[in-house]
């Protein structure tokens, strides 16, 4: 199969006739399916890392957005892209996997480790920022009726408008449906929180456990799950959403609230034994890449507390 045709398919630029040709070729043999998956990996790598600066061991995942007039992909760059993928996988900075699915020509899964974040482009051009400890799964090419992605964690979306093809984010707690907009969804499995925040446009939010609970958000509002019910509140401070810049940002936040952010970003458990620290509020920001030890040392400058990390469980105790 011609690689250029497959790349146009991944971008959603093929005709119905070309789609049928690709499907018949895909179903013809396991070898064709393997080529399909390999071409998709190459396509994603080229989009994710086009013109990206070199990756260093102590840097976060910083992926530049592809330009609107994306240049034609040159196949001679294969070895360079393969090297980038190898660096990412060996360093543990990014996990990419393609799963077989005849219906969607394969599902791609991307997981972001603790202390990292990533920006990527979906097949329709939608931009997504994934927070630490987040997993997203999406088809290598969206079907003709809707665009569905599955999310475990927190992500910010800038969805390409398409009235004929709704964009749906499915999570274990609730779903968000849009046509084209900017919004944030937080729904980590194993945690109770479910928050959908709308920055621009319009979204519909419903609960997975009770679809009858449904509401429409307007800009600068958010839906929060409390006691199994969706509640709407306004947004006055957008600092909490600077995670997509690789920042843990807070404004007049309690010590406990900051520690919960650290737990989410770094995948750690923090026990607060020192009740004195709860009397203070903090304003500031930390970079993901600086790590939790650096952040705690900075906080120690303003208030006296000690902390210990258990070498086996990695639980941090604030004393």
Nearest to 168 by CA among 184, 147, 182, 142: 147
pLDDT in tens, 42-87: 665 554 444 333 323 233 333 333 333 333 333 333 333 333 344 3
Residue, of 52 and 261, whose pLDDT is higher: 261
Q: What is the pLDDT at residue 67?
A: 37
Whether the predicted pLDDT of 261 surpasses 60: yes
In CATH terms, the fold of domain 239-318 is Phage tail protein beta-alpha-beta fold (3.55.50)
Residue 145 has pLDDT above 90, yes or no: no
* Higher-pLDDT residue of 159, 143: 159
Tokens of 119: 């920006």
Other beta carbons within 10 Å of 264: 22
The stretch 183-210 carries a mean pLDDT of 88
- What percentage of the chain exceeds 70 in pLDDT? 78
Which secondary-structure segment (H or E) carries 248? strand 247-254
DSSP calls for 264-289: HHHT--EEE--GGGGG-EEEEEEEGG
Residue 93 CA to residue 85 CA, distance in Å, equals 10
- Report how far residue 281's alpha carbon sits from residue 257's, in angstroms, rounded to the nearest whole number: 9
The reported pLDDT for the residue numbered 221 is: 92
Q: Which of 202, 47, 190 is nearest to 128 (CA)?
A: 47
Least confident of 54-68, 82-96, 116-130: 54-68
Residue 43 neighbours by CB distance under 10 Å? 20
What's the half-sphere exposure (Cβ side, CA atoms, 13 Å) at 202? 5
Task: List Cβ neighbours of 76 (8 Å cut-off, separation of 6 or more).
Answer: none
Q: Which pLDDT score is estimated for 107?
A: 77
**41 pLDDT tier (thresholds 50, 70, 90):** low
Structure confidence at residue 43 (pLDDT): 64
Greater confidence (8 vs 310) lies with 310
Mean pLDDT of the chain: 76
**pLDDT score of 99:** 46
| 133 CB neighbour count, 10 Å cutoff | 21
- Res 152 pLDDT > 90: yes
Residue 297: count of CB within 10 angstroms of its CB: 12
Can you give the residue ranges of every domain in the chain? 239-318
Query: How distant, in Å, are the alpha carbons of 128, 239, 266, 271, 278 from that of 319?
Result: 38, 28, 20, 9, 12
What is the distance of C-alpha 170 from the center of its chain? Answer: 13
- pLDDT (mean) for 182-190: 89
> pLDDT (tens digit, 9 = 90+) per residue, 287-305?
888 888 888 888 888 788 8
Q: Taking the complete model, does pTM exceed 0.75, yes or no?
A: no
Q: Residue range 158-168: average pLDDT?
A: 88
pLDDT at position 189 over 70: yes
112-117: average pLDDT: 83
């Amino acid at each position: 199969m011609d690689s250029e045709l497959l790349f146009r398919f991944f971008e959603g630029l093929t005709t119905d006739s070309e789609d049928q040709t690709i499907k018949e070729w895909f179903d013809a043999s396991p070898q064709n399916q393997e080529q399909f998956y390999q071409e998709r990996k190459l396509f994603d790598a080229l989009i994710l890392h086009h013109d990206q600066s070199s990756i260093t061991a102590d840097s976060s995942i910083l992926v530049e957005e592809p330009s609107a007039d994306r240049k034609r992909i040159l196949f001679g760059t294969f070895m360079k892209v393969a090297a980038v993928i190898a660096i990412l996988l060996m360093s543990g900075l990014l996990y990419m996997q393609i799963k077989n699915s005849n219906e969607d020509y394969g599902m791609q899964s991307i997981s972001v480790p603790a202390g990292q974040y990533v920006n990527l482009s979906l097949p329709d051009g939608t931009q997504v920022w994934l927070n630490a400890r987040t997993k997203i799964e999406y088809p290598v090419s969206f079907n003709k009726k809707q665009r569905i992605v599955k999310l475990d964690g927190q992500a910010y979306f800038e969805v390409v408008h398409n009235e004929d093809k709704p964009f749906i984010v499915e999570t274990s707690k609730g779903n968000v449906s849009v046509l084209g907009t900017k919004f944030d969804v937080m729904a980590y499995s194993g945690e109770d929180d479910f928050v959908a925040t709308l920055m621009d446009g319009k979204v519909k939010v419903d609960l997975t456990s009770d679809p009858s609970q449904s509401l429409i958000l307007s800009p600068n509002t958010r839906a929060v799950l409390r006691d199994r019910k969706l509640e709407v509140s306004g947004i006055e401070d957008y600092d909490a959403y600077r995670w997509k810049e690789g920042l843990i940002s807070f404004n007049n936040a309690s010590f406990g609230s900051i520690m919960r952010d650290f737990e989410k970003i770094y995948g750690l458990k923090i026990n607060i034994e020192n009740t004195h620290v709860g009397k203070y509020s903090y304003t500031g920001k930390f970079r993901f890449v600086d790590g939790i030890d650096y952040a705690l040392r900075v906080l120690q400058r303003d208030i006296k507390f000690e902390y210990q990390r258990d070498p086996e469980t990695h639980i941090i105790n604030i004393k």
